[in-house]
Amino acid sequence: MSVRAAVLPAVGSPLEITRIELPDPGPGQVRVRLAAAGVCHSDLSLSNGTLRVPVPAVLGHEGAGTVVAVGEGVTGLAPGDRVVLNWAPSCGDCPACARGEVWLCADALSGAAAVHARTEDGTELHPGLNVAAFAEETVVPASCALPLPDGVPLTDAALLGCAVLTGYGAVHHAARVRPGESVAVFGAGGVGLATLQAARIAGASRIVAVDVSPHKEELARAAGATDYVLASDRTPREIRGLTGGQGVDVAVECVGRAVSIRAAWESTRRGGRTTVVGIGGKDEQVTFNALEIFHWGRTLSGCVYGNANPAQDIPVLAEHVRAGRLDLSALVTERIALDGIPAAFENMLAGKGGRALVVF
């Protein structure tokens, strides 16, 4: 079957909006008709080579849609089911999975090397991060399709597959924000806005949003920020000024730059916690001296996919949506077609907007 898709022909090349040939679902696979797909910064990182995947590839890893066909042996899913795509399915057998740390599964991205589809001239294509959501339809392992609970709009549900799960998990699983604590969120893009909402849901007393763009203040405050700080070399000092000279209890960095990681760390109080969500390049070096590590007693930790278990956390997020505590539509600043993805990448590079959502 032929469908339209956004294909990355080679690292550093522009995306090509073209038709591809999808196979029927094989054993253990399902075919999903996409309702929407979010444009995540990780897709940009894949296209420019910051993150490596086999190419040519169909990008897109944050999506939701409806099952239209299932392969042999698939149980628990049937045509007509609404699903959220899970780009990092856990194998259940590796040491990380055995420890219950499914977000660190050693085999989570093994499917990215498989042949997913072909161009009309027969060129083999890979699924960028397992699910190839930048297409009208996709074929994925059944483990990559999680049932979407009732009461959540299908298009907006795409955000649950990455931005919201990552931001919510960073707050509730990685940083473990407690009611009454103060939180600073560095970066007010899609993940940052989701993190702000998660901090509000966690009961944070003061929520400081930090970004380079003055135009994101309204978005950040709507998501839950009580204060907004324009990023500069004075950011840690300004945050300490907002918190009685102490610094925040928790800082969550959603940018992936050495300068913002360092600023987030310096913005936390003595004994505070900094969680790094942003994916940076290998050349982004963050330095500390031994004395300051001892003196400040702060904790610096990484966070992969929100340290979340998608199968367990998506029903929790759905309940927050139904109860009105989590507003998915507030994260979306632009609804676009497939051919709008390159412009969405440019907006990311320019620091504009929250989440662009491809609506099919």
- Token couple for 291: 């004395």
pLDDT digits (tens, 9 = 90+) for 226-273: 999 999 999 999 999 999 999 999 999 999 999 999 999 999 999 999
Any idea which fold 166-304 has? Rossmann fold (3.40.50)
Determine the pLDDT at residue 112.
87
pLDDT digit string, tens, across residues 40-75 = 988 988 888 888 889 999 999 999 999 999 999 999
* Domain(s) of CATH 3.40.50.720: residues in the chain: 166-304
Specify the domain boundaries for CATH 3.90.180.10 within the chain: 2-161+327-359
Task: Name residues whose C-beta falls within 8 Å of residue 71's C-beta, 6 or more positions apart in sequence.
Answer: 24, 25, 26, 27, 28, 29, 30, 142
Strands 117-119 and 16-21: antiparallel
Q: How far apart are CA 174 and CA 348, in angstroms?
A: 25
Using the structure block, give the residue that is written with the tokens 């998990």.
169
Instruction: Give the DSSP letter string of 197-223.
Output: HHHHHTT-SEEEEEES-GGGHHHHHHH
The encoded tokens of residue 162 equal: 């990455």
271-324: pLDDT as tens digits: 999 999 999 888 899 999 999 999 999 999 999 999 999 999 999 999 999 999
> Which CATH superfamily includes the segment(s) 2-161+327-359?
Medium-chain alcohol dehydrogenases, catalytic domain (3.90.180.10)
List, in order, residues 6 or more apart from 149 with CB less than 8 Å away: 314, 315, 318, 319
Q: Minimal CA–CA distance to 20: which of 33, 4, 36, 8?
A: 4
pLDDT in tens, 208-235: 999 999 999 999 999 999 999 999 999 9
Find the helix packing angle between 341-349 and 41-48, rounded to 10°: 90
